[in-house]
Amino acid sequence: MGIFGGSKNDDPTPLDGIDVVLADLDGVVYQGPAQIPHAVESLTRVVDSGRRVGYITNNASRSDAVVAEHLSSFGLTVDPADVVTSPQAAMRLMQDLVPAGSLLLVVGGEGLVTEVERHGYRVTTSAADGPAAVVQGFYPEIGWKQLAEAAFALTRDAAGGGIPWVATNTDWTIPVAGGIAPGNGTLVSAVHTAVGILPVVAGKPETPIFDEAVHRFGASSPLFIGDRLDTDILGARRAGMASVHVLTGIDRNKQLIAADAKMRPTFIVDDLRQLFEPYPLPKVKREVTQVGSARVALRGNRVEIDAAGDRPVDLLRAACAVIWGSGKPIYALDVPEALYKR
């Protein structure tokens, strides 16, 4: 499948040939306390079509049961087993690093502690207890003392030896009701600065969390839906999955147009209703690329809009097709401001 869903059929939908849909949460299903318009009814429709839906989250502060309850409050039918969390992926990694029953220094909240104990490990918050490994995940109440304990536990001996360190994720930011706030990546970076080593990472954009989802749902042809290029789309591509970028969250036109080749989604949609719509494939004639009724051309180093078309999303799709296909970095192109607006 190509960047824009290449298929033997004309204008397939993003769901063609898909057996499992995996959805990110923040920016895809909800934003803060509010559900994102059209997300719930669209995901319900996916289930009604006979496909399984799983939910993947890097947020380590809540357990799968709490996340399932939250999603169910919106009207979705979700069991805890339908939720794949970064702490779950972290524990799969930990099983290869330390023996079962080991004492782990946990920097994190309920969601992480629940998974640590569920997998048979013991929990401490003090480096003085001699933990076998450190596992770190986001929790709003984490402060200097918890980060310092992690640093103390991870200090290397004279021979450079030390204990394993697993981070649930390294998201630099997290969307909350008040706006965009620092995420787990900033807290991991603080510990890294103190100890000079890097953790093994379980969550997006690393593949363990995707591997856990594929294994759990028995997916043979999954489709991942996300709103961030540097975690969701990059991770899906690393895991070999087709991906949908939905324009309801963090990254919008500007980021998509300038996206590195490793972060380019298979599909771009305004909202999740477009999962069921035929996806217009780019049609190229000479230097002009047409998607729907939008037409964009590359003339020299100038990206030009020949026709804005009926739908802004088609103009964005055409612009991405032109820019991504040019083989040139975004800074080498003269791109009209209208293509960045969203």
Active site residues: 24, 26
- Dist CA 276 CA 152 (whole Å): 52
Amino acid at 204: K
- Dist CA 107 CA 208 (whole Å): 20
Residue 130 near residue 103 (C-beta atoms within 8 A) = yes
Q: Which of 60, 120, 107 is nearest to 88 (CA)?
A: 60
Q: Which of 264, 262, 259 is nearest to 244 (CA)?
A: 264
* Residue 310: burial class (beta carbons within 10 Å; 0-12, 13-18, 19+): exposed
Biggest alpha carbon–alpha carbon distance for the chain: 69
Q: Which of 277, 291, 275, 279 is nearest to 324 (CA)?
A: 291
Question: Strands of 302-307's sheet, edge to edge?
Answer: 283-285, 288-291, 294-299, 302-307
- DSSP label at 336? -
Long-range contacts of 78-83 (CB under 8 A, 24+ apart): 81/216, 82/53, 82/54, 82/55, 83/54, 83/55, 83/57
Q: Which of 90, 334, 34 is nearest to 203 (CA)?
A: 90
Q: Which of 168, 210, 197 is nearest to 58 (CA)?
A: 168
Residue 134 near residue 153 (C-beta atoms within 8 A) = yes
The two three-digit tokens of residue 71, written as one number: 């999603």
Which conformational region is residue 309 in: left (phi greater than 0), alpha (psi within -120 to 50 degrees), or beta?
left
Expressed in angstroms, the distance from the first to the final Cα of the chain is 27
Residues, the chain: 342
